[in-house]
Amino acid sequence: MLWILFIGNIWLLVMLYIFLHDMKDTSSSLVSHTLNVITTPVPLFALCNGLLLTHMYVGVFIETSIASAALGMGGGLMLGSLYDRGGAVVGISNGFIAGIMAPILGEISGRSSLILFFSQFIFFMVLFYFRFRAQKQQGSDLI
């Protein structure tokens, strides 16, 4: 069950990247939109994956911290590189910090399923918000 969520998180982040990459050419790039895309989904992605890894591999703290930090840095690089090198650096650092802290939060909470599913819910809602907000902005730019 947890592997499905893990693969689903990666798939959703890749789909957001593809959608924003296709939309990047048609809409104006605002600084606030750029920072929101880089600083919101990336730490949530690292947090969700860190909590999932903590639930899947109990007692393997260092390895789950490194893996979730690497996943967060990869997601940050992917979304940050849509805009510029500075955005990529911001994405990498946000993903790294959230990835390092996620297993700590998972262990402190006692590997609570409630915090795991709450973070997944917030991650899905943020991605759907970005998807439909970007679509709405694209429609208003064409008018």
Q: Are 94 and 72 in contact (CB under 8 A)?
A: yes
- Look up the domain containing 62 and give its range: 36-131
What beta strand segments (E) does 7-141 contain? Answer: none
What's the residue count for the chain? 143
Per-residue pLDDT tens over the stretch 42-59: 999 999 999 999 999 998
Residue 132 has a pLDDT of 80
The pLDDT value recorded for residue 133 is 74
Q: Tell me if 2 is assigned to some domain.
A: no
pLDDT greater than 80 at residue 91: yes
Please state the pTM of the whole predicted model. 0.86
Is the residue at 19 inside a domain? no
Nearest to 79 by CA among 30, 19, 3: 19
Total structural domains in the chain? Answer: 1
CA dist list (Å): 142 to 28, 63, 101, 135, 138: 11, 48, 41, 11, 7
* Residue 79 placed within a domain: yes
Q: How far apart are CA 36 and CA 80, in angstroms?
A: 11
Whether 4 is in a domain gets the answer no
Q: What's the token pair of residue 16?
A: 């957001």
Q: Does 10 reside within a domain?
A: no
* List of residues 6+ apart from 122 with CB closer than 8 A: 44
Distance CA 47, CA 97 (A): 10
72, amino acid identity: G
Average pLDDT for 25-35: 64
Q: How confident is the model at residue 41 (pLDDT cuts 50, 70, 90)?
A: very high
